[in-house]
Structure 1
Amino acid sequence: MALTADKRVRVGILGCSDIACRKFIPALRGCGGAVLKGVASRAAASLAGETYAVLGYEELLAHEEIELVYLSLPNHLHEEWTVRALQSGKHVICEKPLGLSAASVERMLRCAGERGVLLYENLMYLHHPQHAAVKGLIDAGRIGRIRSLRSVFAFPFPAAGNFRLDPERGGGAFHDLARYPLSTALHCLQGDSYRFRGFALDRSGLNVAMHGTALTSAGEVFTFSIAFGQQYESYYEIIGELGKIRVDRAYTTPADLANLIRVTCGERDTSFTVPACDHFRLMIEHVCAVVRNGGDFGEMHQRTRRLARLADQMEKGCRHEEDRQ
């Protein structure tokens, strides 16, 4: 149900990246609980049809009407501008990765806790109901005890000039993609701790791929593959003692796609269709509801903290090798 205008969370955008223009802003238009009030970006003039104030970065953070900041600057600027936003009393949605290390994330979370505001790393894909449906199948014992998880996310190289190709700006496959398989593992697996082994392939200091395995404290095997410079893949499979579950287009499910969850038990295959939805819009609505209704920021912050620590462990567990072109 749409909120009245004075109840909507007032949003400001800091940095109009490609994902902000293609995904976040269109999703924001469809949210009854949020309204765009200001944009700070050189690309702001390209947002035709929007009504908002065009501001500088500091002006946006000082804007009294703005309550929530969506930050999609290049990765190496996330900590600086997230902390500035938090210190200004704003709630923050920051694009992945929130920080380039667990220590960076911890500094930001400490600031958010001191200011009593929400800091949310944008794991938008998990808001798609297909992942709750998968968890429901697991919890119902449909495939028995979980033995392993395989998660893959890879695509061709970004266009020349994209910050994701610049290690000095926090680029690389690890920073860009690792949150997807790791958050899938935290969503689906039971183990509390992980031991990682694998290989990280680099080109002139830029990580272009990471492939490896982790064993959890529950005896589950977690296999991951993330990469730039290859055919698009985006799926995960959960294998149990009685069957397996597979989700394709898992991390980039189009808003107009009714996706399939495939369940195989022995020789029997079953497919479930999940209605199309915009996981960006669902993410924005969730965050705005937490902000407006006073949800548990501490619990959300702890999940963010755990994911950042797991990312550090993943990176340290993979041996770096020069990729042969």
Structure 2
Amino acid sequence: MAVLGCADIAWRRALPAMAAEPLVEIAAIASRTQKKADRFTAAFGGVAVEGYAELLERDDVDAVYIPLPALMHGEWIERALDAGKHVMVEKPMTGSHAETARLVALAHERGLVLLENFMFLYHSQHAAVRKLVADGAIGDLRGFSSAFTIPPKPLGDIRYLPDIGGGAFLDFGGYPVRAALHFLGGDLDVVGVVFRQDRDHGAVMSGSMLLCNAAGVPARLSFGMEHSYRTSYSLSGSTGRIMLDRVFTPPASHQPVVRVERQDHREEIVLPADHQWANVMGAFARAVLTGGDLRSQDEGTLRQAALMERVLAAARIVRF
């Protein structure tokens, strides 16, 4: 497996998970500059390659991980698939549903694995929460809320370049949206959206969304990069509420604490630590090596892309 782009997420999360996965051998790491590729391979192994296209020409690479800025994904996914490489790509897969659908279809046509890395879905805490809901811990589900907010980044950060990084909505606003799909189902309507957009560089900085499913269960979602750090969700039911923090980017050592509240009842359930990066890397490697079917993930990717597009189209943009 090889890495196409020396992004921070590759250094901090993806490459350590690759190095620890027995089914993965790091063959090469590519950057636009030889110096950066050399620094990454010195830490994680593999051959340092200057240039993304040069990496795709290598015969010793059968799969690539792409952590490039969001709006560069589509081009390099297609070029990797055309080169016969399996692809694991950071979210979002692309900036549009049409392009995402085309690339998913191309991967199927070529018999290649294409996985969008919403890694939080591979953490066991979410299955535990779904079981609590299914077992009636809070009665009938009446509402879902989720937030992913971070402090401002330094000037020049890729998120401030909407034509490359896509802004905060594409970069991490999709996490609460994907969580809503996970808990409320795939048919969500857009009720209302407001985005804050910076006048100077044109990037969406933050926003709030109200969605609902066919049963009228609402999802209240927020994101932004002008806040304190927060990744959380809560589920409200007819008899209680479930709350969970650090839901999208927990470190491998973190033991999630699920808080359950009902009338005259307060409970905290400590769950086992889990390593979502190791889990997603293992799932991808097994699919590549055994021809495993990831079409259920493809369906989620396509629903996500369609919903993100509808949210963007419905957004009231407030410039500041």
The verdict on a shared fold, with TM-score over 0.5 as the criterion, is yes
d(CA) in 2 for partners of 1:155, 1:217: 31
Is the Cα–Cα contact under 8 Å of residues 153 and 232 in structure 1 kept in the other structure?
yes
Query: Which of 133, 136, 144 is matched with 2:131 structurally?
Result: 136
How far the C-alpha of 1:191 sits from its partner, in A, is 6.0
Letter of the 1:50 partner, please give it. Answer: F
Which residue of structure 1 lines up, in the alignment, with residue 38 of structure 2? 45
Equivalent runs, 1:176-191 vs 2, <5 Å: 176-190=171-185
Is the Cα–Cα contact under 8 Å of residues 142 and 238 in structure 2 kept in the other structure?
yes
Letter of the 1:111 partner, please give it. Answer: L
- Report the secondary structure of 2:26's partner residue: strand
Q: What stretches of structure 2 of length at least 5 have no aligned partner?
A: none
d(CA) in 1 for partners of 2:80, 2:124: 30
Task: Return 75-84 or 273-282, whichever deviates more.
Answer: 273-282
Is the Cα–Cα contact under 8 Å of residues 62 and 88 in structure 1 kept in the other structure?
yes
d(CA) in 2 for partners of 1:298, 1:259: 29
- Report the secondary structure of 2:21's partner residue: coil
- Report the secondary structure of 1:110's partner residue: helix
Letter of the 2:148 partner, please give it. Answer: F
Percent identity over the alignment is: 34
Which residue of structure 2 lines up, in the alignment, with residue 14 of structure 1? 4
How far the C-alpha of 1:59 sits from its partner, in A, is 2.4
Which residue of structure 2 lines up, in the alignment, with residue 32 of structure 1? 22
Letter of the 1:17 partner, please give it. Answer: A
Letter of the 1:275 partner, please give it. Answer: P
Q: What stretches of structure 1 of length at least 5 have no aligned partner?
A: 1-10
Name the TM-score, length of structure 2 as normaliser. 0.94
Name the CA shift for 1:82/1:191 in 2 (closer, same or farther; >3 Å).
closer
Which residue of structure 1 lines up, in the alignment, with residue 193 of structure 2? 198
Moved over 4 A (4+): none
Letter of the 1:76 partner, please give it. Answer: L
Which residue of structure 1 lines up, in the alignment, with residue 70 of structure 2? 75
Query: Which of 211, 233, 236 is matched with 2:208 structurally?
Result: 211
Root mean square deviation, CA, Å: 1.4
Is the Cα–Cα contact under 8 Å of residues 18 and 26 in structure 2 kept in the other structure?
yes
Which residue of structure 2 lines up, in the alignment, with residue 248 of structure 1? 245
d(CA) in 1 for partners of 2:180, 2:76: 29
d(CA) in 2 for partners of 1:296, 1:229: 39
How far the C-alpha of 1:40 sits from its partner, in A, is 0.7
Q: Deviations over 1:206-227 (max 9, x none)?
A: 1001112112112111000100
Name the TM-score, length of structure 1 as normaliser. 0.92
d(CA) in 2 for partners of 1:63, 1:196: 48
Which residue of structure 2 lines up, in the alignment, with residue 5 of structure 1? none
How far the C-alpha of 1:262 sits from its partner, in A, is 1.1
Letter of the 2:11 partner, please give it. Answer: C
Which residue of structure 2 lines up, in the alignment, with residue 115 of structure 1? 110
d(CA) in 2 for partners of 1:195, 1:269: 33
How far the C-alpha of 1:171 sits from its partner, in A, is 2.9
Q: Deviations over 1:253-309 (max 9, x none)?
A: 112211211111222111111222321111101111222222223332122111100
d(CA) in 2 for partners of 1:73, 1:15: 6
Is the Cα–Cα contact under 8 Å of residues 192 and 218 in structure 1 kept in the other structure?
no
Equivalent runs, 1:1-325 vs 2, <5 Å: 11-41=1-31, 42=33, 43-47=36-40, 48-55=42-49, 56-190=51-185, 192-204=187-199, 205-323=202-320
Letter of the 1:174 partner, please give it. Answer: F
d(CA) in 1 for partners of 2:290, 2:168: 36
